[in-house]
Chain A
Amino acid sequence: MNPLNASTVRERSGMRRRDFLKVSVAASGGLLIGFQFPGISPLASAQARVSTFMPNAFVRIGTDERITVIVNHSEMGQGVYTSLPMLLAEELDADWTKVGYESAPVDPKYNHPAFGMQITGGSSSVWSGLEQFRQAGAAARAMLVAAAAQQWNVDPASCRTESGAVFNGSNRKLTYGQLVGAAAKLAPPEHVQLKDPKTFKLIGKPIKRLDTPVKLNGEAVFGIDVKLPGMLTAVVARPPIFGAKMKSFDDSRARSMAGVRRIVAVPSGVAVIADTFWQAKIAREALQVDWDEGSMQNFSTSQMMQEFRERAKSTGTSVRRDGDAAGALANAAKKVEAVYEVPYLSHLMMEPLNCTVDLRPDSCEVWTGSQFQTVDRANAAKVAGLPNEKVQLHTTFLGGGFGRRANPQSDFVVEAVHIAKAAGAPVKVIWTREDDMRGGWYRPAFLHAIEGGVDAGGNAVSWRSRLVGQSIMAGTPFAAMLMKGKDYDPASVEGVDDLPYAIPNVTVESHQAEINVPVQWLRSVGHSHTAFAVECFMDELAFLAQKDPYQFRRQLLLKQPRHLGVLDLAAQKSGWDKPLPKGMGRGIAVHFAFGSYSAHVAEVSVTDGKVRVHRMVCAIDCGQYVNPGIIAAQTEGGAIFGASAALFQELTFENGRLQQTNFNTFPVIRMNECPEIETHIVESNEKAGGIGEPGVPCAAPAIANAIFAVTGKRIRRLPIRMTEAI
């Protein structure tokens, strides 16, 4: 049977499929009510058949009073469909209950102002949008005011705005909707005055998220939910080992199975295209593929880590050199050395990778949860053989991103366009959870060897870090831009290259490992491992100096007021000086990442070798902030993300094959394991920093240090196994 889906509603409405998105935005008809378009809020999609005024790329105002904010960052849970509209609505003096969101198309005018491409990453959406969205709102407001002043024949300066209307004197009022026609005839202002932060009504308040309602009744459209008339579904048999190549395949059984349309070789493997996902998946199981296993067939992570350990014994590329770390170490009263190891990690977004493509002779439409629109569109266009402007990429909701959906090669998009070429119909490529986990682009495994020493007075005098691991940037089209001429990858050493402690002799060295496992940024990138090593080693130094770990850090951060601010706040709110019940221990960590300062105190118990995290107290200083409700959510979520990695997660390879395939072998914290988490935000007028990632790095070291406090054993390898504690 033909799957009956909501797309048939569109067919009946008589619209051509390719016009679907355009029409839905411009004049969605009555038949479509109740159908949620990808990336468009109900308020925005209901903006039907009304005249609208679009003063700039970021806002559209309708005669129905609705304000649609066009958001150039992807919503993957971090709240940009709320925080960025808040910025615009603040300066516009909009009625917040009338504000909706819409995902931006791919266009240079939606480029990230700092990165020059359309991308969501680096915890940068709010700080990079701060000026952009406030300016856009202020410019729109100025035009509406000018239009009203013209109608009343008064000086615009004598008008005021509030809650979606312009006022003059005590009895004159025109709503923004009433001014749409007149404002549209005016030229945008060259300069606008932004509000004094003291007058903010929205910014700084815990405003509820705009995208919550559609996430509670099934309306929200994620990439995997996209439906097109006549759409087929594909799954791909991909190589079992990185670098393996398909030699031949036998589809004699699979191709006659129910619903199977085509089975075709694509560069990434063999695609099975069928009417439905389940038919494609069952047929893939009947497919016989003969692989040339290639050079990685004997690859094992245990052997790789052994090689890393050997490599760490030699001098690496110099990243930082203050004073003479080796000389100071030789003269130190007490010394300690530790080797920290972290594994490959999967992003494990709840929504496995997927991409839908409708390829025509002269056009290509792509629907996916992308974090990297400029690059994804360009890569899709290359495979489609079309110029960029003939390719439309629609950003849906992302069921988690964590960096995986910003792939420099656009792996999941490129593959879908290849399959679309063979499908002869719109096609959705769905990765199973196992496909997603085996698909590569992991957080790289790292080894971090540190030596340090204190003098007779217990002062830290020497620190030498040596890191071994794969570069994320090397070999990508962005290596030149992001490696900035350095002979090491900054993403490998971020978080230790800027060691903030007042230690006079510091050396940081990097060894770049060349391994054919594709690696990529994962939430908090290099900080996800450097904070673990640095903050655990700080605890080792404190112990060596016989000092309290909090006070020891404090003394070395006296010239770092923002580090100190979060450290003190976390210590104070956790009751650092108060005793804990027997069997419980406290650990502390502090870290700077993505423009923000973070400190965590973890409370932990260990019973029969099992670690339980009871409470985490998080302090965050992200400078000027927009929505404290979202900051608390991101900080909690970041702590849980970091704690999941610390407690459970590891990808290992044997004979080139990944050993973990699903949630049962790559677990995450669940409800019954979730600690109490408190978030305390530092009030600050400093430049805005990030919030999506800074909550992650401190979780692992705070937990590991708490384990030491309660057991006297050091954790030097993640995930934490008490049997490996030292």
Chain B
Amino acid sequence: MIAFSVNGKLVDLDVDPSTPLLWVIREHLGLTGTKYGCGMAQCGACTVHINGEAVRSCVAPVSRATGKAVTTIEGLSADLSSPLQRAWLEEDVPQCGYCQSGQLMSAAVLLREKPRPTDDDIDEAMTGNVCRCGTYLRIRRAIHRAAEMVAKEGTL
């Protein structure tokens, strides 16, 4: 049995510990907001947080989450109240939308570590997240906008 928390809820699973966290989240926990794109940490669609750190869940065995706190897109805020989601709404970022969970989860870690990120900071933090529709410019604008909201409101 592997025990950890997902979006604040404790889970205790009987699962092969080598199974990638991505597939445990999607298939065992039914949280399908986290996406499969490449299976080799190349595209970032599967990005989640383990104890606040951005992790490519497609290559992280579920055992790595043991005793830790996992946050998925569903845990960012279901009601779209997070500054990142609001900024994404204001910039109307998504096209197909498939990569956006991963983009948001990467951006969340960036903003926590660098509340007023420069364009270079954004390049560094977001280059692991591919968007095939090409929404990068709007993502960049949305991150800057979210940073302004966080500065004003004081919470991420």
Q: Determine if A192 is an interface residue (Cβ-Cβ < 8 Å).
A: no
Q: In the bound complex, do residue B85 and residue A216 qualify as a contact, i.e. CB atoms below 8 Å apart?
A: yes
Q: Determine if A674 is an interface residue (Cβ-Cβ < 8 Å).
A: yes
Write out, one digit per residue, whether chain A residues 471-490 have a CB within 8 A of any chain B CB (1) or not (0): 00000000000000000000
Query: Known contacts A7-B30, A212-B94, A350-B132; can you find 11 more A-B pairs with CB under 8 A?
Result: A3-B30, A211-B97, A217-B74, A220-B97, A224-B36, A225-B26, A350-B96, A350-B133, A663-B130, A672-B124, A674-B134
Neighbouring B residues of A390 by C-beta, 8 Å: none
Q: What distance in Å separates the Cβ of B122 from its nearest Cβ neighbour in chain A?
A: 7
Task: Please tell me which one of the listed residues A217, A227, A402 contacts residue B76 in the complex, with CB atoms under 8 A apart.
Answer: A217
Q: In the bound complex, do residue A400 and residue B132 qualify as a contact, i.e. CB atoms below 8 Å apart?
A: yes
Neighbouring A residues of B34 by C-beta, 8 Å: 218
Query: In the complex, what distance in Å separates the CA atom of A238 from the CA atom of B32?
Result: 26
Beyond A351-B35, A400-B133, A636-B134, is A1–B13 a contact (Cβ under 8 Å)? yes
Q: Which of B120-156 contact A (CB under 8 A)?
A: 122-124, 126-140
Task: Please tell me which one of the listed residues B39, B80, B97 contacts residue A433 in the complex, with CB atoms under 8 A apart.
Answer: B39
Neighbouring B residues of A220 by C-beta, 8 Å: 97
Q: In the bound complex, do residue A209 and residue B94 qualify as a contact, i.e. CB atoms below 8 Å apart?
A: yes
Q: In the bound complex, do residue A276 and residue B131 qualify as a contact, i.e. CB atoms below 8 Å apart?
A: no
Q: In the bound complex, do residue B132 and residue A277 qualify as a contact, i.e. CB atoms below 8 Å apart?
A: no
Neighbouring B residues of A662 by C-beta, 8 Å: 38-40, 42
Taking each of B19, B28, B128, B133, which has the highest tally of chain A beta carbons within 10 Å of its own beta carbon? Answer: B133
Query: In the complex, what distance in Å separates the CA atom of A4 from the CA atom of B31?
Result: 10
Query: In the complex, what distance in Å separates the CA atom of A3 from the CA atom of B19?
Result: 13
Neighbouring A residues of B98 by C-beta, 8 Å: 222, 349-351, 397, 399-400
Q: Which of A33-80 contact B (CB under 8 A)?
A: 34, 75-79
Beyond A350-B131, A351-B37, A670-B127, is A208–B89 a contact (Cβ under 8 Å)? yes
Chain B residue with the shortest CB-CB distance to A665: B42
Taking each of A6, A351, A432, A634, which has the highest tally of chain B beta carbons within 10 Å of its own beta carbon? Answer: A351
Query: In the complex, what distance in Å separates the CA atom of A5 from the CA atom of B31?
Result: 8
Query: In the complex, what distance in Å separates the CA atom of A636 from the CA atom of B128?
Result: 20
Write out, one digit per residue, whether chain A residues 652-686 have a CB within 8 A of any chain B CB (1) or not (0): 00000000001110001111101011000000000
Chain A residue with the shortest CB-CB distance to B92: A208
A-B contact pairs, 13 of them (CB 8 A): A1-B14, A5-B29, A77-B96, A217-B80, A219-B33, A224-B32, A278-B20, A278-B23, A350-B96, A350-B99, A352-B37, A398-B96, A640-B134
Chain B interface, number of residues (Cβ within 8 angstroms): 65
Neighbouring A residues of B23 by C-beta, 8 Å: 276-278
Neighbouring B residues of A430 by C-beta, 8 Å: 36
Q: Determine if A23 is an interface residue (Cβ-Cβ < 8 Å).
A: no
Question: 4 closest Cβ contacts across the A-B interface?
Answer: A218-B33, A215-B97, A399-B98, A640-B134
Q: Determine if A348 is an interface residue (Cβ-Cβ < 8 Å).
A: yes
Q: What distance in Å separates the Cβ of B87 from its nearest Cβ neighbour in chain A?
A: 10
Q: What distance in Å separates the Cβ of A351 from its nearest Cβ neighbour in chain B?
A: 5
Query: In the complex, what distance in Å separates the CA atom of A399 from the CA atom of B40?
Result: 18
Q: Determine if A641 is an interface residue (Cβ-Cβ < 8 Å).
A: yes
Q: Determine if B43 is an interface residue (Cβ-Cβ < 8 Å).
A: yes
Query: In the complex, what distance in Å separates the CA atom of A3 from the CA atom of B26?
Result: 9
Q: In the bound complex, do residue B42 and residue A218 qualify as a contact, i.e. CB atoms below 8 Å apart?
A: no
Q: Determine if A639 is an interface residue (Cβ-Cβ < 8 Å).
A: yes
Q: In the bound complex, do residue A432 and residue B39 qualify as a contact, i.e. CB atoms below 8 Å apart?
A: yes
Q: Which of B36-89 contact A (CB under 8 A)?
A: 36-40, 42-43, 45, 72-74, 76-80, 85, 88-89
What total of A-B pairs shows CB separation below 8 Å?
A: 194
Q: In the bound complex, do residue B95 and residue A663 qualify as a contact, i.e. CB atoms below 8 Å apart?
A: no
Q: What distance in Å separates the Cβ of A92 from its nearest Cβ neighbour in chain B?
A: 23
Chain A residue with the shortest CB-CB distance to B106: A671
Q: What distance in Å separates the Cβ of A456 from its nearest Cβ neighbour in chain B?
A: 45
Neighbouring B residues of A636 by C-beta, 8 Å: 134-135, 137
Query: In the complex, what distance in Å separates the CA atom of A430 from the CA atom of B35?
Result: 13
Neighbouring A residues of B95 by C-beta, 8 Å: 77-79, 633-634, 637
Write out, one digit per residue, whether chain A residues 246-287 have a CB within 8 A of any chain B CB (1) or not (0): 000000000000100000000000000000111000000000
Q: In the bound complex, do residue A218 and residue B16 qualify as a contact, i.e. CB atoms below 8 Å apart?
A: no
Beyond A215-B100, A671-B140, is A1–B15 a contact (Cβ under 8 Å)? yes
Query: In the complex, what distance in Å separates the CA atom of A638 from the CA atom of B134?
Result: 8
Chain B residue with the shortest CB-CB distance to A34: B78
Beyond A217-B76, A219-B33, A662-B40, is A397–B96 a contact (Cβ under 8 Å)? yes
Beyond A5-B27, A671-B129, is A213–B36 a contact (Cβ under 8 Å)? no
Q: In the bound complex, do residue A5 and residue B30 qualify as a contact, i.e. CB atoms below 8 Å apart?
A: yes
Beyond A218-B74, A641-B134, A662-B42, is A400–B96 a contact (Cβ under 8 Å)? yes
Taking each of A208, A215, A433, which has the highest tally of chain B beta carbons within 10 Å of its own beta carbon? Answer: A215
Query: In the complex, what distance in Å separates the CA atom of A349 from the CA atom of B99?
Result: 10
Q: Determine if B111 is an interface residue (Cβ-Cβ < 8 Å).
A: no
Task: Please tell me which one of the listed residues A4, A217, A277, A629 contacts residue B30 in the complex, with CB atoms under 8 A apart.
Answer: A4
Neighbouring A residues of B92 by C-beta, 8 Å: 208-209, 212, 629, 633
Q: In the bound complex, do residue A399 and residue B27 qualify as a contact, i.e. CB atoms below 8 Å apart?
A: no
Q: In the bound complex, do residue A637 and residue B133 qualify as a contact, i.e. CB atoms below 8 Å apart?
A: yes
Query: In the complex, what distance in Å separates the CA atom of A436 from the CA atom of B85?
Result: 31
Task: Please tell me which one of the listed residues A634, A663, A674 contacts residue B42 in the complex, with CB atoms under 8 A apart.
Answer: A663
Beyond A209-B94, A641-B134, is A350–B43 a contact (Cβ under 8 Å)? yes
Q: In the bound complex, do residue A277 and residue B27 qualify as a contact, i.e. CB atoms below 8 Å apart?
A: yes
Q: What distance in Å separates the Cβ of A478 from its nearest Cβ neighbour in chain B?
A: 25
Query: In the complex, what distance in Å separates the CA atom of A212 from the CA atom of B124?
Result: 26
Chain B residue with the shortest CB-CB distance to A221: B32
Chain A residue with the shortest CB-CB distance to B24: A278
Beyond A349-B132, A674-B136, is A6–B30 a contact (Cβ under 8 Å)? yes
Neighbouring A residues of B123 by C-beta, 8 Å: 671-672
Query: In the complex, what distance in Å separates the CA atom of A227 from the CA atom of B33?
Result: 13
Chain A residue with the shortest CB-CB distance to B94: A215
Task: Please tell me which one of the listed residues A7, A216, A233, A663 contacts residue B100 in the complex, with CB atoms under 8 A apart.
Answer: A216
Q: What distance in Å separates the Cβ of A610 from its nearest Cβ neighbour in chain B?
A: 16
Query: In the complex, what distance in Å separates the CA atom of A221 from the CA atom of B96?
Result: 11
Q: What distance in Å separates the Cβ of B51 from its nearest Cβ neighbour in chain A?
A: 20
Q: What distance in Å separates the Cβ of B53 from its nearest Cβ neighbour in chain A?
A: 19
Query: In the complex, what distance in Å separates the CA atom of A4 from the CA atom of B34?
Result: 16
Write out, one digit per residue, whether chain A residues 337-352 have a CB within 8 A of any chain B CB (1) or not (0): 0000000000011111
Chain B residue with the shortest CB-CB distance to A638: B134
Beyond A1-B14, A278-B20, is A218–B134 a contact (Cβ under 8 Å)? no
Q: In the bound complex, do residue A397 and residue B97 qualify as a contact, i.e. CB atoms below 8 Å apart?
A: yes
Q: In the bound complex, do residue B76 and residue A276 qualify as a contact, i.e. CB atoms below 8 Å apart?
A: no
Query: In the complex, what distance in Å separates the CA atom of A369 from the CA atom of B55?
Result: 28
Query: In the complex, what distance in Å separates the CA atom of A238 from the CA atom of B123?
Result: 38
Task: Please tell me which one of the listed residues B35, B39, B129 contacts residue A399 in the complex, with CB atoms under 8 A apart.
Answer: B35
Query: In the complex, what distance in Å separates the CA atom of A6 from the CA atom of B33?
Result: 12
Neighbouring B residues of A677 by C-beta, 8 Å: 137
Beyond A3-B30, A4-B30, A227-B32, is A668–B126 a contact (Cβ under 8 Å)? no
Chain B residue with the shortest CB-CB distance to A641: B134
Beyond A6-B30, A77-B96, A641-B134, is A216–B89 a contact (Cβ under 8 Å)? yes
Taking each of B35, B85, B136, which has the highest tally of chain A beta carbons within 10 Å of its own beta carbon? Answer: B136
Query: In the complex, what distance in Å separates the CA atom of A209 from the CA atom of B30?
Result: 27
Q: In the bound complex, do residue B42 and residue A216 qualify as a contact, i.e. CB atoms below 8 Å apart?
A: no
Chain A residue with the shortest CB-CB distance to B31: A218
Q: What distance in Å separates the Cβ of B108 from its nearest Cβ neighbour in chain A?
A: 12
Query: In the complex, what distance in Å separates the CA atom of A319 from the CA atom of B122?
Result: 49
Q: What distance in Å separates the Cβ of B140 from its nearest Cβ neighbour in chain A?
A: 7
Chain A residue with the shortest CB-CB distance to B19: A278
Neighbouring B residues of A676 by C-beta, 8 Å: 137
Task: Please tell me which one of the listed residues A3, A349, A671 contacts residue B28 in the complex, with CB atoms under 8 A apart.
Answer: A3
Query: In the complex, what distance in Å separates the CA atom of A233 from the CA atom of B110?
Result: 35
